[in-house]
Amino acid sequence: MEPIDQPALLVAMDLLWTRFLPEIKERVKILESAAAAVAAHSLTIEEKDAANGAAHKLAGTLGTFNLTRGTVLARELELMYSGGDGPDPTLAHRLVSIAAELRALVESRKLHG
Amino acid sequence: MPHKILIIDDEDDIREVAALSLESVAGWDVVTANSGAQGLARAIEHKPEAILLDVMMPGMDGPTTFRELRNNPATAKIPVILLTAKVQSSDQRRFADLGVQAILFKPFDPMTLSSQIAGVLGW
């Protein structure tokens, strides 16, 4: 393949973003559900592990698509969901707030094309 | 001849962005695998000059895959670079102790990923 310049790469990246957006939104949805479960004192181990995995994946992905703030937020969530018992319910407000910010970041990412 | 590199990562989005980056920015030949087991098979089949290996994968994770690569005479000498979103220093020390060529971190900049890899490998 012939090397391409930065604008062409950004357009190609946008095509990948559009393709993988449903998967990325699904990860955000897992975090929204987990945050709601923490608030309701009903978080299961399976939900905690799913949230930890989703946060880890988003931390790696979002910054690659130039959403650096998304990576910072996802790392915070990964840390909070990594403990054995999951986040303390007193953190529920923060968890909900981060998940909402992630949703907004993902849905407002602008394309270069 | 362009360099040939194998990317092993279970996350489709990361794997495809990395492949796009290395193919389109650096002009390298890229082979991909979505699991450690598939990565081992592709490494034997394609004989890449280097392997970019994700750490957290279901089934055979990155460190296990690395050990399998080292235990196979056909792949033992291929340089392996770990790619991870784990940024805690305890994780980094654990990965460094494996004996990999380098550790690169997610997220990465698709425009500069190839130059990072080239720098590590002396390409």
A71: which 2 tokens?
């990576």
> In terms of CATH architecture, what is A6-108?
Up-down Bundle (1.20)
pLDDT of residue B106: 94
DSSP H helical ranges for B25-103: 36-46, 62-71, 89-96
Chain B residues lying within 8 Å of A64, measured CB to CB: 14, 17, 106-110
Distance to chain A for B111, nearest Cα, Å: 7
Mean pLDDT for A22-38 is 98
Residues on A contacting B at a C-beta cutoff of 8 Å = 1-4, 6, 8-9, 12-13, 16, 20, 23-24, 56-57, 59-65, 68, 71, 75
Mutation pick from B82, B89, B106 vs chain A, by most beta carbons of A within 10 Å, is B106
Residue A28 confidence class, pLDDT cut points 50, 70, 90: very high
Residue A113 confidence class, pLDDT cut points 50, 70, 90: low
Mean pLDDT for A72-95 is 94
Question: With the CA atoms of A77, A83, A86 and A90 taken in that order, what torsion angle do they form, in degrees rounded to the nearest 10?
Answer: -70
Residue A1 confidence class, pLDDT cut points 50, 70, 90: low
CB-CB under 8 Å, A61 with B11: yes
pLDDT of residue B96: 82
Chain B residues lying within 8 Å of A12, measured CB to CB: 20, 24
Across all residues in chain A, what is the average pLDDT? 94
Would you say residue B50 lies in a domain? yes
pLDDT of residue B108: 96
Would you say residue B123 lies in a domain? no
Q: pLDDT truncated to tens, each residue of chain B (123 aa)?
A: 899 999 999 999 999 999 999 999 999 999 999 999 999 999 999 999 999 999 999 999 999 999 999 999 999 999 999 999 887 778 778 888 889 999 999 999 999 999 999 999 999
Distance to chain B for A46, nearest Cα, Å: 15
On whether any CB of chain A is under 8 Å from the CB of B13, the answer is yes
Would you say residue B77 lies in a domain? yes
pTM: predicted TM-score of the whole model, two decimal places? 0.92
ipTM: 0.88
Per-residue pLDDT at A7 exceeds 90: no
Query: Per-domain residue ranges for chain A?
Result: 6-108
As a whole number of angstroms, the distance between CA B63 and CA B67 comes to: 6
Would you say residue B22 lies in a domain? yes
Query: B80 - beta bridge partners?
Result: B51
Residue found by looking up tokens 């290395």 in the block: B22
pLDDT of residue A2: 64
Render pLDDT for A87-102 as a digit per residue (tens, 0 to 9). 999 999 999 999 999 9
Q: Which residue of B has its CA nearest to A56?
A: B85
Of B41, B61, B62, which Cα lies nearest the Cα of B53?
Answer: B62
Three-state secondary structure of chain A:
CCCCCHHHHHHHHHHHHHHHHHHHHHHHHHHHHHHHHHHCCCCCHHHHHHHHHHHHHHHHHHHHHCCHHHHHHHHHHHHHHCCCCCCCHHHHHHHHHHHHHHHHHHHHCCCCC
Residue A112 confidence class, pLDDT cut points 50, 70, 90: confident
CB-CB under 8 Å, B24 with A1: yes
Per-residue pLDDT at A107 exceeds 70: yes
Q: Which residue of A has its CA nearest to B113?
A: A64
As a whole number of angstroms, the distance between CA A3 and CA A9 comes to: 10
CATH number of residue B29's parent domain: 3.40.50.2300
pLDDT of residue B88: 76
Would you say residue B51 lies in a domain? yes
Residue A75 confidence class, pLDDT cut points 50, 70, 90: very high
Residue A56 confidence class, pLDDT cut points 50, 70, 90: very high
- Taking only residues 61 to 100 of chain B, the set having a beta carbon closer than 8 angstroms to any beta carbon of chain A reads 85, 87
As a whole number of angstroms, the distance between CA A20 and CA B85 comes to: 18
Specify burial of residue B51 (Cβ count, 10 A radius: 0-12, 13-18, 19+): buried
Structural domain span for residue B37: 4-118
CB nearest B110 (choices: A9, A57, A59): A9
